[in-house]
Amino acid sequence: MELPRKHINSFFPGFGSSLMLQLAGLATASHVVRGNDTDQQALLHFKSKITGDQLRIMDSWNSSIHFCQWRGVTCGRGREHQRVTKLELQYLKLSGSLSPYVGNLSFLTELNLTGNSFYSQIPQEIGRLRRLEVLRLTNNSISGEIPSNLSACSKLTFVNMRGNQLRGEIPASLGFLSNLKLMSFSNNSLRGSIPPSLGNLSSLQELTLSINQLTGILPEALGRLTNLSYFTVGSNGISGILPISMFNLSNVQVFDITGNMIQGTLSSDLPITMPNVEFFSIGGNQISGTIPISISNATNLNVLQFAENRLSGSVPSLEKLDKLFRLSLYQNHLGHGRDGDLNFLCTLVNNTKLGTLSITENNFGGMLPKCISNFSSTLSHLSMDRNKILGRTPDGIGNLINLEALGGGITKSTIRFDSL
C-alpha cells in the first residue's frame, strides 16, 4: 500500500519524495516475492523427487540464481508476476516420480518431460493446472491410470503419453476437452473400450491408441471427427463392426486399424472419401466382402494394406495409385481361381515407386501376366506363392534389377503407423 505524502513529509522533512519511492519499491518487491514463492517451492518439491540426474541438470536449481533461470524453466515476461509458464525437461536422462506439487504451478501452460525415466503415477493434482495447454509425458515409465480430472484442464490442446506403462481405461471425461487437437496413448497397457465421448472432440486432428489392450468396438461417434488426420488403433483387441462413417473422414492422412478383431463387410460400390490418405491399413482383422472400387480415388496413397482378412472377389484397377510404395493383399480369398484374376497387376506398371507387392495365399488363378516384367525397377519384394497361378515366370522378370525377394518373401503385416 502506498503511504500518503503528507505523512512521510511529517516524519522525514525534505525526504518525502525520495523515501516514498523507495517504500513503494519495497512494497512491490515484497509482492513479487510472495507471488513467486509458491512456484519456487513447487519446483523445489519437483527437484526433491528426482532420483537420477546423470547430466546434473538439477545443479542449476539452486538459490544462487533466480528460479526463472533454472534449466528447463520458463517464466512469464511480466515484471510483477514472474510465474512459471513452461517446464521443459525433455531428453535429459532424468528419473524419479512426479511431485504432486506440480499442481501448484498455476500459470503453467506447457509441461514436457518426454524421453526420460519418470515412473510411478501421474498425480491427481495435475487437474489443477487450468492454464495447461501442452502435456508431453512421452516415452517414460509412468504407471497407474490416466487421471480422470485431466478434463479440468480445459485449455489442453496436446496430450501425449505414448510409450509408458499406463493401465486402466481411457476416462470418458476426456471428451470434455473441446480444444484438444492431439491425443496419444499408444504403446501402453490400457484396457477397456474407446469412450464414445471422444467423438465430441471436434477439434481433434490426431488420435493414436495403438499397441494397448483395448477391447470393445470402434464407436460410431468417431465418424464425427471431421478434422481428424491421424487415426491409429492398431495392435489391440478391438472387435465389432467397422463403422462405415469412418471411411468419410476426408482429412485423414493415416488410417490404421491393423491387428484387431474387427468385422464387417465391404462392398465394391462402398464410397471411400479419403482424398488425402497416405497410409491405409485394415490388415489383420476379420473383414469380409470385396475391395471397394473407390479406393482408387485415394491418389495420395503410399501404403495400402488389406492383408490377413476374409476378402474375396476381384481386385479393382489401381492405375490411379501412382504414389503407391507398398501393396499388401496376402492371406485373403481374393480371386476366382481362373484367368483374368491378375489383370489388376497390369494397372500398376506405370507406378514408379512400388517397392513391395504381396498377393500370397489367395485364390488367384490363371497365367502370370507378362506385364510384371514392366514393373518399376524400384520393386524389391514380390510375393505371389500359394495361389492357383499357372505357367512360368516371364523372362523379363530380370528387368527388375532391385528385386531382393521373389515368392514367399513377405508373410506378416509388419507395417504399422504410430503417431510421434
pLDDT of 407: 66
Q: Which of 2-11, 158-167, 287-296 has the lowest mean pLDDT?
A: 2-11
Check residue 7 and give its pLDDT.
38
3-state class (DSSP) for residue 159: strand
Q: Are 50 and 74 in contact (CB under 8 A)?
A: no
Q: What is the pLDDT of residue 36?
A: 77
Which helix (H) or strand (E) segment is 207 a member of?
strand 206-208
Beta partners for residue 119, in sequence order: 97
Q: In what order do the strands lie in the sheet with 265-266?
A: 265-266, 288-289, 310-313, 333-334
Identity of the amino acid at 381 = H
Contact 324, 354 (CB under 8 A): yes
Q: Could you write out the DSSP letters of every residue in 116-158?
A: SEEESBPPGGGGG-TT--EEE--SS--BSB--GGGGG-TT--E
What pLDDT was estimated at residue 277? 97
> Looking at 15-24, 158-167, 257-266, which range is the least confident one?
15-24
Q: Dump pLDDT digits (tens) for 329-350.
A: 999 999 999 999 999 999 999 9
Q: What is the pLDDT of residue 176?
A: 96
**The predicted structure's pLDDT at residue 403:** 79
What does pTM read for this prediction?
0.86
pLDDT over 90 at 23, yes or no: no
Please check whether residue 343 is in contact with residue 368, taking contact to mean a CB–CB distance below 8 angstroms.
no
Cα gap 271→37, rounded to integer Å: 60
Give strand pairing partners of 235: none
* First-to-final CA distance of the chain: 52
* pLDDT of 9: 41
Is the CB of residue 284 less than 8 Å from the CB of residue 261? no
pLDDT digits (tens, 9 = 90+) for 75-102: 997 666 689 999 999 999 999 999 999 9
E strand or H helix at 303 = strand 303-305
What is the set of domains in the chain, with CATH numbers?
48-406 (3.80.10.10)
Q: Name the average pLDDT for the chain.
A: 88
Do the beta carbons of residue 149 and residue 125 sit within 8 Å?
A: no
Amino acid found at 160: N
d(CA 183, CA 238) in angstroms, rounded, equals 18
Residue that the C-alpha cell 527388375 belongs to? 400
What is the reported pLDDT for 78? 66
pLDDT at 258 over 80: yes
Task: Quote the pLDDT of residue 79.
Answer: 60
